[in-house]
Structure 1
């Protein structure tokens, strides 16, 4: 955002508030899952390798599924996509409860459930991105994204982890039951969202030559042939959507720098996140609930960032603030790695949350302004598959580093890599703000 621009005063529309409620419910479920799945993994196999494998497989859909999911979301009703994704995740957690009650858990089962749940998440996330730009205007993006980050932080990083950690110590089954219930609540609430119709229908991703045959197709064609042509047309349209999303990222210099920076940050964070449960329980020798409280400390920092960002964005350019945020991420990770102490861990994760919350809001607004409206979901998914597709690599690398040099070394390496990302992106972030695309 260009310095000196005042924060928008228009109220966000009612549809956005309903979307936020649905988002809060599903993110609370995600927060529960983020905590209880690693804790459950440790009870099945406490080795760094096993924890890293579950983390890597759980993150893999961002690499394998996200772009096709985004292309498909652009052709569908995002409200229905979100509702179905929430229901699917509730069913998966229900199946996991069945394995838990039957005492049939294994690393394989945890990997399958984690992979499938994240696959559904890629659809829900792309649909949410599409809905945001449908229900708010471009002048409200910072405000809307700040609300999203506040909700995400409160639900995903604060309420979900704390409730999940406390419930897990009492009953793992109760923790997963609460997770499934929250997904179902999100599914019900999101069906009440009524978003304005895009003036350029998002289903019309392909050109007329690429689109599937419509009502004007010859009526004397066999039913199987017409159905096959239609399916082939849908596949071509999705493939074109995937390619177009990647082209936008590659050809736009601001987006290219942004996504490459996020990829490095995600790699570093994935390595640290995969080993965090072992850092809290083995290195710090704290009870299992301390892992949840480290995540809660992170969320406190992110909440501070989301509340203060409208003021910051109205006075300073987004790029320099983003640069400082990356420096803060790197410094906090280094502190956690070098100062292996509970107080240092809580303070370090509070600063990490402050820095990442700042980055998330400003980078999301920059990406959305540079993306054509009718390509939001697939560009968002392309962005995530490039940036978050490294999560399995980061989790695997974290496990390898921990096995060889110890868990604290993972945080030191992650902090150093983050500081290198700050240096590489400095020129782009400190330059004048790129202009927004016309919506």
Structure 2
């Protein structure tokens, strides 16, 4: 008597083109979740170390925020050329290890009673440099793991992970600070980066070796090639301008919100963490809705629409008082919703637009242009809060968010529904260094 045929169990119901079907992408997401969760704890804990344990004035808190992002100005441009010459996974793992060790030094020094603001600045700067290389390599590696038609879904999933960490992490961070103290809470960040490195080590897909630089090409020539690609494209130029403006005022907010919440509104560490967690729900909803909204309104249209619709909510930040604390969370939730929808659309566009050999330089150039304003905004916010109070800094922040959509509304994006697709992209020709000619550009769609 023959044995009955074995029936395979049904496969999970996953969309045919979903990146979730790929094991390596799931590991990438797990690593992102671990690293982001730890980083969100530090988002609450590190400023609280300065404010509560070291009693730093507002300008020094702003300077700490500036130190975290200064690397985008210091090494942002050459980082792209270096990343294009290296395999991405080993670089990501090394960056995670550096960040884990740097963060671990804070609780060690705190337990020994020797923690100073100088060490916090150094940790922030070292971690920032590692983050520059990590972020550029991460965005350049994703198109090697996913087909280009899955990039919007992949970036949406990564934004969902980041937004989930932004919801859970600050609340966890505030609770840890309340329970064990600010400096010991940073242990969670060191563990998160270590876990991220372990997950990335599990990715199996062979990585194509980087193309060797052309004979006679210098690092400066490669950096200039990335600059020409970005600045020579009208849509990338305007996206860079709007994002740089938004990041400047985001840094003003980041530099002053802890001072405002603790010293003006009188919130404790647990309440500060809960406030930031509730605020981040908007970002999570934005990540989950980004693909649907881009399909309904068009990827080009949703870029300017998300910024224009969410910006006015920033006016609620400086209007928040001790009896209306919920206004701060509502404002942050709405602004974060718009920012995440915007990011999913524009990051997916530039990943699909750029030739593979230029991905590192393109991402680094845009990070330099977009994120180079972060330390400047943090210094401006800290100085303004020191001189006129944290509420005055938040008024500047609110006015700035109203101006963010203007470059987008004055550009060709306002008349477009969809962005150019990969088929319209021409690979920029390899040029001899120093010719000064523009790389190939993309026809407007």
- Following superposition of structure 1 onto structure 2, how do residues 45-56 of structure 1 map, counting pairs within 5 Å? 45-56=55-66
Per the TM alignment, residue 96 of structure 1 is displaced from its structure 2 partner at its CA by 1.8
Q: How far apart, CA to CA, are the structure 2 residues paired with 1:415 and 1:94? A: 35
* Secondary structure of the corresponding residue to residue 285 of structure 1: coil
Q: Residue 356 of structure 2 corresponds to which residue in structure 1? A: 373
1:418 aligns with 2:428: no
Q: Residue 15 of structure 1 corresponds to which residue in structure 2? A: 24
Q: 2:333 aligns with which of 350, 364, 372?
A: 350
Q: 2:267 aligns with which of 286, 293, 296?
A: 286
* Secondary structure of the corresponding residue to residue 296 of structure 2: coil
- Following superposition of structure 1 onto structure 2, how do residues 70-149 of structure 1 map, counting pairs within 5 Å? 70-149=80-159
Q: Residue 304 of structure 2 corresponds to which residue in structure 1? A: 323
Q: 1:435 aligns with which of 415, 420, 427?
A: 420
Q: Residue 223 of structure 1 corresponds to which residue in structure 2? A: none
Distance 1:339 1:174, change over 3 A: closer
Q: Is the 8 A contact 2:211 2:357 kept in 1?
A: no
Q: Residue 186 of structure 1 corresponds to which residue in structure 2? A: 196
Q: Residue 276 of structure 1 corresponds to which residue in structure 2? A: 257
Moved segments of 4+, more than 6 Å: none
Q: Deviations over 1:200-240 (max 9, x none)?
A: x4342x21333xxxxxxxxxxxxxxxxxxxxxxxxx2x333
Q: Residue 31 of structure 1 corresponds to which residue in structure 2? A: 40
Q: How far apart, CA to CA, are the structure 2 residues paired with 1:182 and 1:97? A: 15
TM-score, reference length from structure 2: 0.86
Q: Deviations over 1:248-305 (max 9, x none)?
A: 1110111011101100000011001110101111221111222222321232101111
1:405 aligns with 2:413: no
Per the TM alignment, residue 140 of structure 1 is displaced from its structure 2 partner at its CA by 1.1
Per the TM alignment, residue 318 of structure 1 is displaced from its structure 2 partner at its CA by 2.2
**Unaligned residue ranges in structure 1 (runs of 5+):** 1-7, 211-235
Q: Is the 8 A contact 2:110 2:183 kept in 1?
A: yes
Per the TM alignment, residue 398 of structure 1 is displaced from its structure 2 partner at its CA by 0.7
Q: Deviations over 1:10-62 (max 9, x none)?
A: 12122111111111111112112222111111121331111011111121001
Between 1:338-347 and 1:258-267, the stretch displaced more is 338-347
Q: Is the 8 A contact 2:256 2:390 kept in 1?
A: yes
Q: How far apart, CA to CA, are the structure 1 residues paired with 2:348 and 2:105? A: 38
Q: Is the 8 A contact 2:299 2:419 kept in 1?
A: no
Q: Deviations over 1:79-134 (max 9, x none)?
A: 11111111111111222222111211221111000000111111111111122111
Per the TM alignment, residue 196 of structure 1 is displaced from its structure 2 partner at its CA by 4.7
TM-score, reference length from structure 1: 0.87
Distance 1:106 1:261, change over 3 A: same
Q: Deviations over 1:157-203 (max 9, x none)?
A: 123222221111112344122221111111111011133544xx434
Q: Residue 227 of structure 2 corresponds to which residue in structure 1? A: 246
Q: How far apart, CA to CA, are the structure 2 residues paired with 1:240 and 1:407? A: 44
Q: How far apart, CA to CA, are the structure 1 residues paired with 2:110 and 2:341? A: 39
Q: Is the 8 A contact 1:276 1:291 kept in 2?
A: no
The alignment yields a C-alpha RMSD, in angstroms, of 1.7
Q: Is the 8 A contact 1:298 1:352 kept in 2?
A: no
Per the TM alignment, residue 67 of structure 1 is displaced from its structure 2 partner at its CA by 2.1
Q: How far apart, CA to CA, are the structure 2 residues paired with 1:359 and 1:314? A: 13
Q: How far apart, CA to CA, are the structure 2 residues paired with 1:203 and 1:111? A: 37
**Unaligned residue ranges in structure 2 (runs of 5+):** 1-14, 426-445
* Secondary structure of the corresponding residue to residue 105 of structure 1: coil
Q: Residue 209 of structure 1 corresponds to which residue in structure 2? A: 216
